[in-house]
Chain A
Amino acid sequence: GAGVSQSPSNKVTEKGKDVELRCDPISGHTALYWYRQSLGQGLEFLIYFQGNSAPDKSGLPSDRFSAERTGGSVSTLTIQRTQQEDSAVYLCASSAGQGRNTIYFGEGSWLTVV
């Protein structure tokens, strides 16, 4: 597609369940990023991929969070044993490289944990 595609766009889950969020970056973009945006907060960096490897996982808030990227394209962010504080918008972005390149965001996955 022309832009960064994320699914699901909305997800309501029960506390303790696992969720998977998917990101399909712009074709040809080698760098992929996951951010989290909570109400009234700025974007919080979670993880960065260059190709299939993740040189920077420093933003993952706990070991319940993990992410992978396959084929240098699609990425999945998994949250295990969800907690109410995980409720947020999870934004994926991609760029042509990890240097001074514009990053393009998807529309986000709106996660609500009840």
Chain B
Amino acid sequence: QKEVEQDPGPLSVPEGAIVSLNCTYSNSAFQYFMWYRQYSRKGPELLMYTYSSGNKEDGRFTAQVDKSSKYISLFIRDSQPSDSATYLCAMSHSGSARQLTFGSGTQLTVLP
């Protein structure tokens, strides 16, 4: 079993829909949680960074962490075709960039 599980999709939604992306994990020591967005043939870019449990909002994006369930989510409101990308969750126990464990990514397509 992988330490971090992420549904690979693909996920296809109409423009304007609310998108929910999720990861589950098994290591209870993880405290730092991140979401990266990766466009086709590009490197991943950091989208959201949260510590411990709770919610964090940034524009149309909301990250949620439920440590009791070992479950994290990324919500995208009013999705746009430009949101079409692969979304990778990542987490670590120390916050150190060299100890990140990544999910395999969910491929999202937002249809105009």
Contact = CB atoms under 8 A, between A and B. Distances in A.
B8 A102 contact: no
A42 B88 CA distance: 8
B28 interface: no
Contacts of A65: none
B45 A95 contact: no
Interface residues of B, number: 23
Given A40-B104, A42-B88, A100-B32, A106 B43 contact: yes
A104 to B, nearest CB: 8
A31 B97 contact: yes
Interface string B91-107: 00001111011111100
Given A33-B98, A100-B96, A103-B97, A43 B88 contact: yes
Interface residues of A, number: 25
A31 B72 CA distance: 28
Given A42-B88, A42-B103, A43-B88, A105 B43 contact: yes
Contact of A95 (B90, B97, B103, B104): B97
Given A41-B104, A42-B88, A42-B103, A93 B43 contact: yes
Interface of B: 4, 6, 8, 32, 41-46, 49, 88, 90, 95-98, 100-105
Given A42-B4, A93-B97, 7 more contacts: A40-B104, A45-B98, A45-B100, A91-B43, A99-B95, A99-B97, A103-B100
Interface of A: 4, 31, 33, 40-43, 45, 48, 56, 91, 93, 95, 98-108, 110
